[in-house]
């Protein structure tokens, strides 16, 4: 093992020596302390105390006083794997129902209460667990415990058939949005059906089948809750700044009376094997065919999991992998990678590749090369560098996750749920560190070598000849048991009995504002401005180079040049190959990304601070000494071309691209995708890339923001790698005038057989201004479409079930801005959705926000400030905003003043000035056959566009 990886390993020393103290029962059996884990020296461990209530609820407390916030997570050990055959999607549907209110929390009030408290919230479901979480200012903890306990113990009396129907429609919309209406979206479902035996808990997806969702009613849902949502199947984890004794008292008060549910046994592991390769295929609206090979594996935390993770890294991750060398580097594929996907009951070893069809490469070719790559791996064996970089690359993210209380709580909750041991991080790291070369070869022979797999071909519509191999396995017709209606009278409700009035919501604590990070400024030896902040919570550094070399500087006939240049900086330099640089970064446990946007190119890096100097040395090499090799250029250009074609297959991106071009004008580069178009990319040569780099990549166009546990002096010392960088970049050319838009015009793009319609409604507005009128527009928008319980979302999602979600915003850049409301809606509700959006905006303009809505916006937007500066990435974003817009360090204080003093009269005036529907245009991407007749009945002029956004002349085919 190299010195670099041993440095990383030094962090790991002593992990298993964490102090774990088992505790006897306390004087009160109500809250029993099970164990206490503390941290010694520099070991990687998350300190916690673990308790158990008499009703079986597990409680984990992790104190972290570094920021004035708390994170509350309730994880139930139930996911889609616990569902009955024929009732798929129930766990996920129930997650939605848990936000609809409970006996003492009104309909849709959960979101309002958390938002008003200045918090964020969500819930997630996977095959094995469901969790609900909130991050709030520290003084809002009691209210969060009241909310979570009320839906654990008092949900069912508030559940209605009407709520059930709305959320069922919402989940079906979500499936269309994430699965049915996106390229390759059906791939996981089809693979799971082929991989697992019918009836296996993983043979269906968490989102479920629509036919299953349609065949059940609200009583099925209630039965699911009563079976799985008892406190004895849950873990409550609290992390952050709290008083331990007060928190335990609140936990006992709010959760202690909830009766136990049925006993829950740990599910049996169910890894599977195949007796032969299973070839499957289907056609989809994709730009490139895709090959996916899936080998059955072990199961999560099995002794083979860690060596299989390392095998996946060697085979198909990063520029050091064999698949990259054999497929991507050669230009045969635009993508090829491998990973292991592990679940509680079974794991999968997955390889995904897309061919470069422009060179005549087929899916069959890819399969052959992948299998040849396995043979190559077996012949070469596992090398020392393989182990070093794979282990470092897998362990470093575990360290980075400790930067946030959210990350630490998530680890504690998951580890307790699946192992009964919250202190699992040390064991996980030890498992990786102990993997040997023989272990990796052993699991290769056990799971991959000559072993059957599911080989899935996703091919372009109308091109069945693209499949890798003729199908030898067909989807079975699902055997659904006869549906039996649940007898409501036989549901065994569990009613808590409290000694307090639970209907009284805990009083709202006063808002407080987290202190803005203490900032420092400096300059490198060649005068690059540096803005930094110290973060002492973890020995890590995040740093961003910002270079004013973005799309803004591109010629109109060479759109995509800035992005192509940035991509080339990820390739070879004059001093090193791309593989050598990737190898160094992985062994350091560092991450680096170079990308370009509308206004700038950014290089963002994350590093363990002790490895920062070498990481910055690599950054300097990439930025200043690119090789600009011809072969690299042709490959990277082909990859960017595929991204352009793929973008066209996504309705949302098509709508967004069209909206920007209409508002900002075709002559302005920033109105287009930052990756360019097929036509403009064809115009770009390697000489163009070299010239763009030599013209704009200069120190006078660069700025640096950094968040680190290093102080200013030590940090600037690491910048010596840029000391000899010289030269001046010119200013980008001025923007062309924006076109006048014809309000109340609907621009329509046909997307045949689309499962949903994408809608964008909007107009020109103001550029970004942190303390001016544009900031006031953020306040104005919050009740309209800026929060979950905004007018638009409550109407279209919660009341009508038209969409999975809708939002609106006043978006501001340095030189331009616009207002837009956007949603992906049910095809049969396209015209109705447009009418409702118009109605809500018109109503808002006429009356403005109510007193309650203004108070809600002030409370939510003010209190959430406490959450903005926790992680290094959040601090980095804050610093970047100050630098980008040349803001005063006191702009946050000015925003507080504006927010607290703004009144309805001012907001009413802003609404009338900036939200006139008559000035807005409408962009709709959907199935013309299904929706066009209804759209023609709207009081809007309709202009048809082709997928490129160009007008269709009368008589042309749409």
Comparing CA positions, the residue from 835, 837, 803, 833 lying closest to residue 821 is 837
Helix or strand or coil: residue 99? coil
pLDDT, position 953: 62
Residue carrying structure tokens 């990070």:
517
C-alpha distances in Å from residue 129, one per residue of 75, 81, 223, 235, 413: 7, 9, 18, 11, 11
DSSP 206: T
| The two structure tokens encoding residue 382 | 């596992």
CATH T-level fold of 46-267: Cytochrome Bc1 Complex; Chain A, domain 1 (3.30.830)
Q: Which helix (H) or strand (E) holds 808?
A: strand 803-812
N residues, the chain: 958
H runs (alpha helix) in 117-196: 141-153, 161-175, 187-195
DSSP 503: T
Q: How far is it, in rounded angstroms, from Cα 435 to Cα 454?
A: 27
Q: How far is CA 844 from the centre of its chain?
A: 32
Neighbours of 36 (CB within 10 A): 16
Query: 237: which residues sit within 8 A by CB, 6+ positions away?
Result: 59, 60, 61, 62, 72, 73, 74, 75, 409, 412, 413, 416
What homologous superfamily does CATH list for 519-722? Metalloenzyme, LuxS/M16 peptidase-like (3.30.830.10)
pLDDT, position 20: 44
Query: 615: which residues sit within 8 A by CB, 6+ positions away?
Result: 585, 588, 590, 592, 605, 607
pLDDT, position 517: 86
CATH T-level fold of 278-405+416-466: Cytochrome Bc1 Complex; Chain A, domain 1 (3.30.830)
- The hierarchical CATH code for the domain 745-945 is 3.30.830.10
pLDDT, position 306: 97
pLDDT, position 26: 39
Q: How far is it, in rounded angstroms, from Cα 100 to Cα 85?
A: 26
Comparing CA positions, the residue from 458, 401, 455, 460 lying closest to residue 428 is 401
18 in Cβ contact with 423 (< 8 Å): yes
| Strands 290-296 vs 130-137: parallel, antiparallel or unpaired | unpaired
Q: What is the DSSP string of 510-542?
A: PP--PPPPPEEEEE-TT--EEEEEE--SSSEEE
pLDDT < 70 stretches in the chain: 1-29, 512-513, 953-958
pLDDT, position 44: 85
Query: 551: which residues sit within 8 A by CB, 6+ positions away?
Result: 559, 562, 563, 596, 597, 598, 599, 669, 670, 672, 674
| The two structure tokens encoding residue 274 | 């195949």
CA torsion 299→225→142→500, rounded to 10°? -150
Comparing CA positions, the residue from 349, 149, 185, 178 lying closest to residue 257 is 149
pLDDT, position 21: 46
pLDDT tens digit sequence for 539-596: 899 999 999 999 999 998 999 999 999 999 999 999 999 999 999 999 999 999 999 9
Helix or strand or coil: residue 469? coil
862 in Cβ contact with 508 (< 8 Å): no
Cα distance from N-terminal residue to C-terminal residue, the chain: 62
Residues of the chain with CATH 3.30.830.10: 46-267, 278-405+416-466, 519-722, 745-945
pLDDT, position 676: 92
Comparing CA positions, the residue from 910, 947, 914 lying closest to residue 928 is 947
Residue carrying structure tokens 């269309």:
176
Sheet bearing 19-22, strands edge to edge = 19-22, 31-38, 48-53, 58-63, 234-240, 69-76, 130-137, 120-125
C-alpha distances in Å from residue 88, one per residue of 78, 80, 91, 202, 272: 13, 7, 8, 11, 21
Helix or strand or coil: residue 571? coil
Kindly calculate the radius of gyration of the chain based on its CA atoms and give it in whole angstroms. 28
Comparing CA positions, the residue from 116, 112, 109 lying closest to residue 158 is 109
What pTM, to 2 d.p., does this model score?
A: 0.92
């Amino acid at each position: 093992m190299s010195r670099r990886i041993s440095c990383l390993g030094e962090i790991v020393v002593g992990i298993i020596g964490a102090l774990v103290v088992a505790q006897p029962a306390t004087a009160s059996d109500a809250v029993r302390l099970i164990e206490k884990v503390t941290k010694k020296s520099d070991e990687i461990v998350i300190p916690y105390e673990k308790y158990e209530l008499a009703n079986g609820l597990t409680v984990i407390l992790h104190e972290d006083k570094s920021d004035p916030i708390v994170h509350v997570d309730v994880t139930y050990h139930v996911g889609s794997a616990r569902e009955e055959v024929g009732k798929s999607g129930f766990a996920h549907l129930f997650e939605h129902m848990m936000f609809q209110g409970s006996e003492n929390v009104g309909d849709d009030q959960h979101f309002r209460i958390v938002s008003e408290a200045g918090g964020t919230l969500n819930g997630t479901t996977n095959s094995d667990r469901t969790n609900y979480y909130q991050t709030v200012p520290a003084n809002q903890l009691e209210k969060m415990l009241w909310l979570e306990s009320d839906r654990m113990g008092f949900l069912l009396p508030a559940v209605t058939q009407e709520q059930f129907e709305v959320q069922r429609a919402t989940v079906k919309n979500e499936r269309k949005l994430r699965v049915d209406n996106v390229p390759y979206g059906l791939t996981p479902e089809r693979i799971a059906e082929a991989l697992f035996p019918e009836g296996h808990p993983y043979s269906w997806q968490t989102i479920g089948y629509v036919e299953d969702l349609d065949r059940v009613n609200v009583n099925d849902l209630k039965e699911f809750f009563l079976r799985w949502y008892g406190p004895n199947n849950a873990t409550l984890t609290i992390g952050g700044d709290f008083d331990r004794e007060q928190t335990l008292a609140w936990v006992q008060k709010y959760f202690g009376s909830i009766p136990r549910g049925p006993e829950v046994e740990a599910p049996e592991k169910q890894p599977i094997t195949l007796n032969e390769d299973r070839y499957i295929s289907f056609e989809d609206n994709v730009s490139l065919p895709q090959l996916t090979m899936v080998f059955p594996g072990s199961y999560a935390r099995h002794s083979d999991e860690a060596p299989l993770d390392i095998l996946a890294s060697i085979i198909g991750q990063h520029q050091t992998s064999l698949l990259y060398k054999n497929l991507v580097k050669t230009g045969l594929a635009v993508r090829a990678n491998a990973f292991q996907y592990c679940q509680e009951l079974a794991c999968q070893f997955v390889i995904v590749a897309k061919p470069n069809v422009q060179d005549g490469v087929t899916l069959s070719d890819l399969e052959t090369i992948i299998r040849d790559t396995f043979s190559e791996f077996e012949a070469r064996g596992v090398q020392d560098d393989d182990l070093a970089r794979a282990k470092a690359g897998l362990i470093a993210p575990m360290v980075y996750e400790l930067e946030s209380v959210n990350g630490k709580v998530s680890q504690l909750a998951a580890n307790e749920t699946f192992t009964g041991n919250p202190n699992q991080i040390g064991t996980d790291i030890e498992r990786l560190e102990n993997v040997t070369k023989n272990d990796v070869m052993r699991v290769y022979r056990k799971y991959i070598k000559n072993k059957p797999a599911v080989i899935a071909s996703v091919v372009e519509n109308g091109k069945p000849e693209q499949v890798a191999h003729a199908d030898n396995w067909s989807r079975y017709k699902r055997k659904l048991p006869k549906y039996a209606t649940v007898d409501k009278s036989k549901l065994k409700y569990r009613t808590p009995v409290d000694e307090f009035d639970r209907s009284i919501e805990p009083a709202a604590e006063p808002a407080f504002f987290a202190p803005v990070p203490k900032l420092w400024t400096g300059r490198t030896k060649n005068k690059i401005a540096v803005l930094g902040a110290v973060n002492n919570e973890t020995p890590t550094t995040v740093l961003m180079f910002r270079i004013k070399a973005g799309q803004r500087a591109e010629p109109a006939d060479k759109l995509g040049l800035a992005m192509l240049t940035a991509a080339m900086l990820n390739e070879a330099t004059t001093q090193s190959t791309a593989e050598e640089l990737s190898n160094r970064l992985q062994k350091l446990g560092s991450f680096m990304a170079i990308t370009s946007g509308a206004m700038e190119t950014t290089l963002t890096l994350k590093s363990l601070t002790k490895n920062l100097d070498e990481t910055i040395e690599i950054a300097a090499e990439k930025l200043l000494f690119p090789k600009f090799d011809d072969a690299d250029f042709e490959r990277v250009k082909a990859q960017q071309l595929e991204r352009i074609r793929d973008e066209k297959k996504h309705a949302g991106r098509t709508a967004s691209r069209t909206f920007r071009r209409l508002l900002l004008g075709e002559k302005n580069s920033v109105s287009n995708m930052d990756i360019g178009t097929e036509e403009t990319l064809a115009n770009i040569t390697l000489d163009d890339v070299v010239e763009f780099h030599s013209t704009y990549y200069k120190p006078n166009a660069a700025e640096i923001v950094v968040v680190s546990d290093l102080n200013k002096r030590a940090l600037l010392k690491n910048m010596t790698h840029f000391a000899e960088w010289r030269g001046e970049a010119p200013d980008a050319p001025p923007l062309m005038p924006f076109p006048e838009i014809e309000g109340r015009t609907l621009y329509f793009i046909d997307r045949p057989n689309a499962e949903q319609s994408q809608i964008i409604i909007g107009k020109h507005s103001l550029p970004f201004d942190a303390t001016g009128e544009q900031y006031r527009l953020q306040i104005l928008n919050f009740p309209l479409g800026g929060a979950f319980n905004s007018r638009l979302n409550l109407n279209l999602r919660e009341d009508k079930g038209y969409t999975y979600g809708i939002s609106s915003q006043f978006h501001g850049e340095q030189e331009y801005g616009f207002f837009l409301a956007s949603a992906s809606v049910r095809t049969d509700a396209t015209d109705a959705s447009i009418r409702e959006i118009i109605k809500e905006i018109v109503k808002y303009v006429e009356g403005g926000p109510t007193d309650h809505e203004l108070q809600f916006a002030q409370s939510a937007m003010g209190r959430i400030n406490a959450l903005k500066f926790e992680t290094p990435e959040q601090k980095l974003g804050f610093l970047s905003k100050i630098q980008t817009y040349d803001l005063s360090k006191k702009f946050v204080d000015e925003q507080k003043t504006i927010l607290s003093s703004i009144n309805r009269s001012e907001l009413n005036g802003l609404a009338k000035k900036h939200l006139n529907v008559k000035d807005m245009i409408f962009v709709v991407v959907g199935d013309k056959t299904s929706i066009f007749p209804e759209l023609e009945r709207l009081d809007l002029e309709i202009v048809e566009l082709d997928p490129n956004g160009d007008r269709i002349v009368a008589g042309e085919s749409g």
